């Protein structure tokens, strides 16, 4: 089954996660209906269709978070401390600290709270 995602969230994080989940088309809702019709035809023919602006932003954006970094942020958003995260992921506390240091640098923030907020806002993590 081919899936097309039609969304208002034009953020590369959402695009990246959708593609990883098997979505074959990713378009913005405010695009022309003719683009949607063309995308439906292409996806039905086995092609992949991504909104050109979003595709460009995915390649232009630097320092996307790795899956591991996303995992750490999700655990941190649930209130887990470094020690708890290290036990859950079978990492040393030093490694967890290093991951957070890299995350802060990539997102240009100074705290976990800021990192979680920015990652959620940009669609890099889903936190309930």
Query: Does residue 94 sit within a domain?
Result: yes
Is 126 inside any structural domain? no
Total domains, the chain: 2
Is residue 37's pLDDT more than 60? yes
Whether 127 is covered by a domain: the verdict is: no
What pLDDT does residue 96 have?
96
pLDDT at 86 over 70: yes
Supply 3's token pair: 């899936």
Q: Is the pTM of this model over 0.85?
A: no
What CATH number does the domain containing 53 carry? 3.40.50.2300
Distances (CA, A) of 70 to 41, 104, 114: 34, 12, 14
**DSSP E strands, the chain:** 4-7, 25-28, 49-50
Longest dimension (CA), the chain: 53
The parent domain of residue 100 ranges over 67-121
Q: What is the pLDDT of residues 113-127, one digit of tens each?
A: 999 999 988 888 886
Domain co-membership, 74 together with 111? yes
Do 26 and 74 lie in one domain? The reply is no
């Amino acid at each position: 089954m081919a899936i097309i995602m039609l969304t208002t969230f034009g953020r590369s994080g959402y695009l990246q996660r959708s593609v990883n989940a098997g979505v074959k088309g990713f378009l913005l809702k405010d695009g022309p209906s003719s683009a949607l019709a063309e995308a439906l035809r292409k996806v039905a023919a086995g092609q992949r269709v991504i909104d050109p602006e979003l595709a460009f932003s995915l390649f232009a954006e630097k320092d996307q978070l790795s899956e591991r970094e996303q995992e750490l942020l999700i655990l941190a958003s649930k209130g887990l401390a470094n020690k708890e995260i290290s036990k859950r992921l079978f990492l040393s506390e030093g490694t967890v600290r290093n991951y957070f240091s890299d995350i802060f640098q990539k997102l240009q923030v100074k705290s976990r709270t800021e990192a979680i907020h920015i990652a959620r806002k940009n669609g890099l993590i889903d936190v309930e």
